[in-house]
Amino acid sequence: MYTFKSKVYILVLATIAIVSCGKKQESIHPTIEKITSSVYASGTVKSIAQYDVYAKVNGIIENILVSEGTEVKKGQTIIALSNKAQALGLENAKLLANYSSAETNQEKLKQAQNELEVAKLKMDNDESLLERQKKLWSNEIGTKNDIDQKELAFKNSTAQFNASKLKLNDLKKQIDFQSKQTNKSASISATTLNDFLIKSDINGKVFSINKEVGEMVNTQTPVAIIGDANHFYVEMQVDEYDIAKIQKGQKVMISMDSYKGKVFEAVIDKVYPIMNPKSKSFKVDAAFSIQPENLYPNLSAQANIIIEVKEKAITIPRAYLIDNEYVYLENKEKRKVKVGLMDYEKVEILSGITTSDALVKTIQ
């Protein structure tokens, strides 16, 4: 036997069923409008020529000559490391170079030159005496022994002259070699000493100083960040599945948290040809067409890279596309379509339906 409550429950269910059967599903018609296909990429604002500054040698910071926000010139020293031992080494190298220079060894050179001149005079004199003795001998004056003695004296003086000449040349070569060697050692010491001065490679601004006076630095850890304070670009990470669509010159729409509600136009300037194996993404740079007034390095950005734009395309909401190739018509027909461009909200239909067709999301 039905109770009163049971009868009421059955009546409610019947009413719901009748209403549901009588309710007509909402339908839409494809529309002709503009559609843009784009690739999303996360990005970071970078300064032109921005780079991490590294020390060339290990050492302890003795002085920091600039502060964050300082404008610097190319070659300007920003950090000085302690270099007392290297300074002493340079001073010692300079002393040795000075000691080995030709100017310092003028007395040795002059002495060797004098010895050569004396040897030349003696050789010339002995030669003259030999020629005289030969003339006397031709006139039957003197003895053969006199000629032999004069010839021996001439040979000895000639040998002494050649030895003095060789000695002078060797001394010149030795002094020249030592001078060049010690000067080069001094230059190496000066270069090594210069390595203890960390300098800017560009005209730009110091964005960050990562160390303090007294801290130890090495060649693997950056001590500062420097870049162009007036010109910026966006460094983007593009997924490997989308990189084949990206090419230089494509338009990019940039939005940033620091400029909420605003979109800035940029153009792809460079596509790096190697994938990051960890993130499975490619690095792509975009240059601002019109740069915002105030930008800072490492600001986060969101980018939409425009792949293709059609001004007049037949489109439907993406929610009405079934399995990426079918739609439901209002008459409950499931029809296959060919799709084209897609964005986040709509999809282009190339063939299969027209603007006169009524579509529904599901078939009841």
CA-wise closest residue to 63 among 79, 47, 87: 79
What pLDDT, on the 0 to 100 scale, is given for residue 328?
92
What pLDDT, on the 0 to 100 scale, is given for residue 15?
45
What pLDDT, on the 0 to 100 scale, is given for residue 338?
93
Q: Where do we find the tokens 């003339």?
A: 135
What pLDDT, on the 0 to 100 scale, is given for residue 294?
86
What pLDDT, on the 0 to 100 scale, is given for residue 92?
63
Residue 32, φ and ψ in degrees, nearest 5: -100, 120
What pLDDT, on the 0 to 100 scale, is given for residue 280?
94
What pLDDT, on the 0 to 100 scale, is given for residue 49?
87
Residues near 328 by beta carbon (within 8 Å), at least 6 away in sequence: 320, 322, 334, 335, 359, 360, 361, 362, 363
**What is the overall mean pLDDT for the chain?**
84
Q: Where do we find the tokens 């005496």?
A: 129
Number of Cβ within a 10 Å radius of residue 143:
11
* Residues 316 and 346: beta-carbon distance below 8 Å: yes
Tokens of 119: 């040897």
> For the chain, how far is it from start to end, CA to CA, in angstroms?
36
Residue 334, φ and ψ in degrees, nearest 5: -100, 110
pLDDT of the chain, 364 residues: tens digit per residue:
444 444 444 444 444 444 444 456 788 999 999 888 889 999 999 998 899 999 988 888 889 999 999 999 999 999 988 766 555 555 665 666 565 566 667 777 788 888 888 889 988 998 888 888 888 878 878 788 888 888 898 899 899 989 888 988 887 787 777 777 667 766 665 666 678 889 999 999 999 999 999 898 999 999 999 999 889 999 999 999 999 999 999 999 999 999 988 999 999 999 999 999 999 999 999 999 999 988 889 999 999 999 888 889 999 998 899 998 999 999 989 999 999 888 778 888 999 999 999 999 888 7
Sheet bearing 334-336, strands edge to edge: 334-336, 326-329, 359-360
CA-wise closest residue to 56 among 226, 201, 187: 201
The DSSP H or E segment spanning 184 is helix 144-194
Please tell me the distance from the alpha carbon of residue 218 to that of residue 56, in angstroms, as a whole number. Answer: 8
Residues near 12 by beta carbon (within 8 Å), at least 6 away in sequence: none
Q: What is the largest CA-CA distance in the chain?
A: 179
Q: Between the CA of residue 278 and those of 121, 209, 244, 309, what are the distances in Å?
A: 85, 29, 19, 32
Q: Which amino acid is at 104?
A: T
What pLDDT, on the 0 to 100 scale, is given for residue 97?
57
339-358 exposure pattern, b = at least 16 Cβ within 10 A, e = fewer: bbbbeeebbbbeebbeeebe
The 3-state DSSP class for residue 80 equals strand
What pLDDT, on the 0 to 100 scale, is given for residue 137?
79
What is the Rg, in whole angstroms, of the alpha carbon atoms belonging to the chain?
Answer: 46
CA-wise closest residue to 309 among 342, 339, 284: 342
What pLDDT, on the 0 to 100 scale, is given for residue 164?
87
Instruction: Confirm whether pTM is higher than 0.75.
Output: no
* Residues 12 and 192: beta-carbon distance below 8 Å: no
What pLDDT, on the 0 to 100 scale, is given for residue 349?
92
Cα 244 from chain centre: 25
What pLDDT, on the 0 to 100 scale, is given for residue 186?
62
